[in-house]
Structure 1
Amino acid sequence: MPHVDLNGQKIFYEDSGGEGPPVVLAHGFLMDHTMFDPQVAVLAPAFRVIRFDARGFGRTQSDGKRFSYWDSVEDCIRLLDHLGIERAVIGGMSQGGFLTLRAALKWPDRVKALVLINSQGGVDNAETLAAHRGLLEAWRQQGPVDAIVHPIAGLILGAPEHWEPWVSMWRKVPVEDLVAPTLALIERDDITDRLGEIKQPAIVFHGDADLAISIERGRLLADKLSGCKNFVPVKGAAHASNLTHADQVNPPLLAFLRAYA
């Protein structure tokens, strides 16, 4: 599987190939590119689906230095350059959505349309930020014990039948790899007031049982994007709605891409 040196990182990516319109999918915090397996299964080969592991996660080899989601945007755009792709649909779940929105702001000519899954333009409240910092410290002190990884799994994935292989994967993650990504999450800027600058077509999915980012925040995101074509509540889904409830996500996603990719 390919790696490419971009911006001082050794980025791992997968490209389904083919002649179809390109679609880039960026994963959420603590996840990796495989969280979009259910989407690749229905999109390829009609669409050329490109996925990559963000700094600090999966098989990407990061330098460990602090970064922001604006830096993550540069990783994404440089990956498109490497693949010879001028313009693509860009989408992502949670932190992947943070990247997607910033890509549309910084590189509007490179973003044909947006797919946003359980994401937002705003930032977390003080209580949530403190919880993120506390989680990192607890992981550092105790390791990935059940008392840490099980609540995370419930928050991201919902019911226990969705927890594997993710919990097993998290148990192998060195805590040092989580420091820079956690700081990027905690310290991200609020771009809510800039969402009106984004004019491309967009679709917004949001699990109605998401406790990490409320569905009200998802509706606000959809309302502020002038090009939003559809807001899709995903019934019964927690944070990773595209992974756990692909049966509700894939049909409207496919219809959106057929219209705007």
Structure 2
Amino acid sequence: MPYADVNGARLYFEDSGGAGPAVVLSHGNLMDRDMWVHQVRALERDFRVIGWDERLHGRTEDDGKSHSYWDSAADLIGLLDHLGLQQAALVGHSQGGFLSMRAALLAPERVKALALIDTTSVAWPAEALAQMRGVSEGFRAAGPEAVAPVLLGMLLGQPVIHDQWLTKWKAQPRERLADAVQVLMGADDITDRLGEIAVPALVVHGDADQPIPYPLGQALAQQLPAAQELVTVTGAGHTPNLTHPDRVNPALAGFLRRSA
């Protein structure tokens, strides 16, 4: 299996290979690289597509300690180093967007373009933090079944794909799931630094997103200096790349052809 030894972790990744421009896909909290299945199929003919599992997720092996999204951004840059890539376009969903924006701030010369799906630059309000705390405690005390009925609907929206992700959660230690949510709770506000991100950007957001409401996507598109477009996915919740790939993929592929 392909692993990259980066910053004390063994990051699992999948690489389509090829000579096309490099695109790195970074998943959301409690997900893994499989959330990009529709995008890999749509992009791999024209791009070198790399999906990876972040710390506390999927097949990546790490020490289980808490970390920040700045640490995750450093992991992503380390993955580029491992792959011998000087630059890549970064596509991030939710927490994958958190770390992708921070990578653009840490190493702007390594980032060619940013596509940000249902993500934000702000810190969580108190109400959201309280909800996440309950999710984390539910995972730790009783396992995925305790939180799945509400959480799967909030994250995915479409019951037909719930079982796949519940099965993945059941395969992970409870403590790892709980700790992943705690990392999410620690996201800091980087809104005042968005003006430093000068690369072309695409913002995609479901207008029915509950965890990161649509107005936050609108604000992100307005605040990124080189944002080219805000794609509103009508009726989509938090993961439009999974639930509405027919709307997301054309916009994403077009943006990457122009920018990557």
TM-score (norm 2): 0.97
Matches of 2:102 and 2:202, distance apart in 1: 16
Would you say 1:85 and 2:85 are equivalent positions?
yes
Matches of 1:7 and 1:144, distance apart in 2: 29
Unpaired runs of 5+ residues, structure 1, are: none
Would you say 1:252 and 2:251 are equivalent positions?
yes
Matches of 1:182 and 1:46, distance apart in 2: 35
Matches of 1:78 and 1:40, distance apart in 2: 22
Would you say 1:232 and 2:231 are equivalent positions?
yes
CA contact (8 A) 1:87 1:111 kept: yes
| 257 and 246 in structure 1: CA distance in 2 versus 1, 3 angstrom threshold | same
Structure 2 counterpart of 1:42: 42
Query: 1:211 aligns to what SS in structure 2?
Result: coil
- Report the Cα offset of residue 31 of structure 1: 0.3
Structure 2 counterpart of 1:51: 51
Structure 2 counterpart of 1:108: 108
CA contact (8 A) 1:69 1:99 kept: yes
- Report the Cα offset of residue 196 of structure 1: 1.1
- Report the Cα offset of residue 127 of structure 1: 1.1
Would you say 1:62 and 2:59 are equivalent positions?
no
Structure 2 counterpart of 1:23: 23
Query: 2:144 aligns to what SS in structure 1?
Result: coil
Structure 2 counterpart of 1:75: 75
CA contact (8 A) 1:149 1:170 kept: no
Structure 2 counterpart of 1:195: 194
Q: How do residues 146-165 of structure 1 correspond to structure 2 at under 5 angstroms?
A: 147-165=146-164
Matches of 1:182 and 1:140, distance apart in 2: 11
- Report the Cα offset of residue 226 of structure 1: 1.0
- Report the Cα offset of residue 83 of structure 1: 0.6
Structure 1 counterpart of 2:133: 133
Matches of 2:4 and 2:104, distance apart in 1: 23
Would you say 1:10 and 2:10 are equivalent positions?
yes
Q: Alpha carbon RMSD of aligned pairs, Å?
A: 1.0
CA contact (8 A) 2:202 2:255 kept: yes
Matches of 1:82 and 1:229, distance apart in 2: 30
Query: 1:121 aligns to what SS in structure 2?
Result: coil
Query: 1:163 aligns to what SS in structure 2?
Result: helix
Matches of 1:70 and 1:108, distance apart in 2: 14
Q: What is the total number of aligned residue pairs between the two structures?
A: 260
Question: What are the superposed Cα offsets for residues 181-215 of structure 1, whole Å, 9 maximum, x if unpaired?
Answer: 22221112100111111111000000111001000
CA contact (8 A) 1:209 1:238 kept: yes
TM-score (norm 1): 0.97
Unpaired runs of 5+ residues, structure 2, are: none
CA contact (8 A) 1:3 1:12 kept: yes
**Percent identical across equivalent pairs?**
50
Matches of 2:10 and 2:122, distance apart in 1: 29
Matches of 2:69 and 2:24, distance apart in 1: 16
CA contact (8 A) 1:150 1:167 kept: no
Structure 2 counterpart of 1:186: 185
Structure 1 counterpart of 2:97: 97
CA contact (8 A) 1:67 1:181 kept: no
- Report the Cα offset of residue 45 of structure 1: 2.4
Query: 2:24 aligns to what SS in structure 1?
Result: strand
